[in-house]
Amino acid sequence: MEILDYIEKSNAAASRDEALVLFRQAVGQYGFDRVMYHSTRAMAEGDEDSSSVVLTNYPNEWLGHYASKRWDKFDPVVRYGIVAPRPFCWDALPTQMHMTKQQQHLMGAAGDAGLMDGVGIPLHGPRGESSGVGLASSTGQTDAARHLSVLNALVHQFHLNYWSFEEPGSAEEVAVSLTAREREVLHWCAQGKSNWTIGEIIGISEHGVEFHVRNILKKLDVDSRITAVVRALHMGLIVP
């Protein structure tokens, strides 16, 4: 399932359950058959109430062992995921943070439990949202580092898709209007072009492109180009 095909199919999903099935199929093509999705977000802007969800097919034995050991208190994947600016492979954590012997033991135990080639994908949203996805393989040999960008796009689409099933009036349904120039810039962002290259293509300066990108991120209420592209495709603001 190609990314654009996945976006089209997931946008047509009739329920959150169907959206989850499609997401597992999409990441499964890259060898990841284990998924952990956690999201906590405010119900409305300025509202202290929050909605939290955890979806996972991690092995039950591992989940029970993890809970009994209270490993959530120092899980390096969770701790680094809170501040991580981009997706990361679990095996790269020792180069990103100091890991205690406890944390090293936890990661070794995860591998022994069939959670191999792990990937963490943080979702930094507005209003203090705390969300993230963990992907792992029960067989290994996924070439995880090579597919991080694709997995990041799939995860962001699933996250948007999942919360699109909220009650009417949710943040996802707020109308967004992009100018013709902003759509043009976003189109080339979707093609993976740099700001300098986009400027050369459409005949404006790199700073001009940066200005439009900042406006696009603000209008779409996101903090990265890839999230902007996925959200714009999700909302039909640009076409493949």
Does residue 42 surpass a pLDDT of 60? no
pLDDT of residue 169: 44
- CA–CA separation, 113 vs 105, rounded Å? 12
Q: Which parts of the chain fold into alpha helices (H)?
A: 3-11, 16-28, 60-69, 76-83, 93-96, 101-112, 148-163, 180-190, 195-202, 206-220, 225-235
DSSP state of 46: T
Antiparallel, parallel or unpaired: β 130-137 and 116-124 = antiparallel
Question: Range of 125's domain?
Answer: 3-163
For residue 209, what is the domain's CATH number? Answer: 1.10.10.10
| In-domain check, residue 169 | no
Q: Are residues 186 and 156 in the same domain?
A: no
Q: Are residues 182 and 80 in the same domain?
A: no
Count: domains in the chain: 2
- CA–CA separation, 235 vs 238, rounded Å? 8
Mean local confidence (pLDDT), 203-221: 90
| In-domain check, residue 119 | yes
Mean local confidence (pLDDT), 194-210: 92
Q: pTM, whole model, 2 decimals?
A: 0.73
Q: Are residues 15 and 131 in the same domain?
A: yes
Among 142, 163, 184, residue at a domain's last position: 163
Q: Are residues 10 and 102 in the same domain?
A: yes
Q: Are residues 106 and 221 in the same domain?
A: no
Residue 237 phi, psi (nearest 5) = -80, -25
Q: Are residues 113 and 45 in the same domain?
A: yes
How does residue 183 score in pLDDT terms, banded at 50, 70 and 90?
A: confident
Q: Are residues 152 and 184 in the same domain?
A: no
| In-domain check, residue 187 | yes
Does residue 168 surpass a pLDDT of 80? no
Q: Per residue in 51-63, pLDDT tens?
A: 577 899 999 999 9
Higher pLDDT among residues 149 and 224, named by residue: 149
Q: Are residues 151 and 192 in the same domain?
A: no
pLDDT of residue 128: 57
Q: Are residues 184 and 223 in the same domain?
A: yes
